[in-house]
Amino acid sequence: MGIISRGFRGRRQDGPPDRVPPGQYLTDDFPVLSAGPTPHRPLEEWTFSIQGGAEPVSWTWEEFRALHSETVTKDIHCVTKWSKLDTSWEGVSVDTLLEGIEHDAEYVLAFCDGGYTTNLPLEDVTDGKAWVVYRYDGEPLDAEHGGPARLLVPHLYFWKSAKWVRGLSLREEDEPGFWESNGYHLRGDPWLEQRYWGD
């Protein structure tokens, strides 16, 4: 009897459907996607701030590194269709950063060295869903991947994981960030394929 052809899939692996959202393929590489040049902020000038609460809060690099950290292993999904499984990160949970801050916000806008911004509903960055990470795969985070620190919001498309992040601005209203002002979806859930406006 003949062999049933499964069709040629090329080098793009589909991966397990419960791990890889619709339209995505797996990669073992770690592509770099940056809308501009890589900023190089010296650590002694670096701070992380939470704005828009009753009182602004800010940590120096040293203070930030002394906060309770977590190591997490997560799958990441870029809107350009690559997904990468089991990436390992260390950093501070956004829950830890928001502890004790009084506010009425329902959204945050992450802001960064270099001017990039991205908006997120507060509920997408709380309850153990988001971190400000400074280590990747056991090493300090490379500058091209967002070092010294980036946001990690792995359950949303990776453009929400702002590189070179310097703080979160608490907002009562949703305000589109950089890509969201340029046609990308306000929320960006990869399992719902929320890639562009109208998806």
Ligand X SMILES: Nc1nc2c(c(=O)[nH]1)N[C@H]1C(S)=C(S)[C@@H](COP(=O)(O)O)O[C@H]1N2
Minimum CB–partner distance for residue 10 and Mo ion (Å): 22
Six-digit token string for 137: 């795969």
Is 48 a binding residue for ligand X by CB under 6 A? The answer is: no
**Amino acid, res. 144:** E
Q: Which two tokens stand for residue 159?
A: 């453009």
Instruction: Determine the number of helices (DSSP H) and then strands (DSSP E) in the chain.
Output: 2, 11
**81 touches Mo ion (CB under 5 A):** no
What's the CA gap between 90 and 109, in Å, rounded?
22
Q: Pick the closest to residue 148 from 57, 41, 38, 30 (CA basis).
A: 41
Q: Which of 26, 72, 78, 143 binds Mo ion (CB under 5 A)?
A: 78
Per rule CB under 6 A, is residue 78 in the interface with ligand X? yes
Residue of minimal Cβ distance to ligand X: 116
For the segment 104-143, give every residue that binds ligand X (CB under 6 A): 112, 114, 116
Q: Give how far the C-alpha of residue 158 lies from the chain's centroid of Cα atoms, to the nearest Å.
A: 5
Report in angstroms how near the CB of residue 12 gets to Mo ion at its nearest: 17
HSE on the CB side for 116, CA within 13 Å? 23
> Considering the complex, what minimum distance in angstroms separates the CB of residue 107 from ligand X?
18
Q: How far is CA 99 from the centre of its chain?
A: 20
Of 1-9, 20-28, 51-59, 159-167: span binding ligand X (CB under 6 A): 159-167
- Single out the residue of 34, 38, 49, 60 in contact with ligand X (rule: CB under 6 A): 34
Q: What is the DSSP letter of 165?
A: E
Position 159 contacts ligand X (CB under 6 A): yes
Pick the piece of the chain touching Mo ion (CB under 5 A) from 1-9, 133-141, 153-161, 188-196: 153-161
Nearer to ligand X, 78 or 186 (CB): 78
